Amino acid sequence: MRPSQSAPVPVPTTIRWWRLRPWSRNDLMRRSDRYEAVIVMLAAILVLLLIPFAAAFGTATHTRLQHQTQALRTSVHQVPAVLLEDSYPAPNSPEDSLRPTSTQDTALARWSTPHGDRTAAVPTDNPAKAGQTVTISVDADSNLTGPLPSPWDNTMVAVTAAFGIWALTAGAVLLPTAVAHILFHRNRMRRWAHEWKQFDMPSR
């Protein structure tokens, strides 16, 4: 009876990648294998270096959004407006009305400006009746404004922008790396097939 053979122990991925380092002394590594290892290593370094770049981009985006919000806040002021109709659920609001959140109703309202009265659909926090006075936010030209972005909104936009720029640039680096890996792999398979064919040929 043949002694039982133990199953081969799988090699951890990190060790396998370390063995493929370009400066490896393994004589079985071809020159093309070392070229491929250099390309993969440079791509990994570039992808890692893009992280602080993306973080700086996200920080700059957040700062710019905060300044814009602050500028909007200084130009917006509140004025009283008289409702011209009973409020109704926001999903039924006209297309040209301000788009409020799902917890708000909408009603047509009129407010006074230095250049005359203005009329538009405005959001109301609670159901309201015609003739009721509500407070709305208008800009320097007395035009109705929407809700100002919150710090959380600006943070989420900045994080999304940072991740997006990182993914875009990392993809630009990894795509040609993947194409090079495919080409190197095909070339390696062709050479192996040719060498196996030479090995199987009977000696004369």
pLDDT tens for residues 72-122? 888 888 888 888 888 877 654 444 444 444 457 888 888 888 888 888 888
Residue 18's alpha-carbon distances to 22, 96, 110, 154, 159, in angstroms, are 9, 61, 72, 42, 33
DSSP-derived secondary structure for 161-203 = HHHHHHHHHHHHHHHHHHHHHHHHHHHHHHHHHHHHHHHHSPP
Q: Is the pLDDT of residue 40 over 60?
A: yes
The arithmetic mean of pLDDT across residues 161-173, rounded, is 94
Task: Round the average pLDDT of the chain to a whole number and report it.
Answer: 78
Contact 124, 105 (CB under 8 A): yes
Q: Across the strands, what pairs with 82? A: 110, 133
Compute the Cα dihedral for 157, 162, 167, 168 and give only its sign. positive
Helix (H, G, I), strand (E, B) or coil at 136: strand
The continuous run of DSSP H or E covering 81 comes out as strand 77-83
- Find, among 167, 149, 156, 172, the residue nearest to 58 by Cα: 156
Q: What is the pLDDT of residues 46-58, one digit of tens each?
A: 999 999 999 999 9
DSSP helix/strand/coil, 118: strand
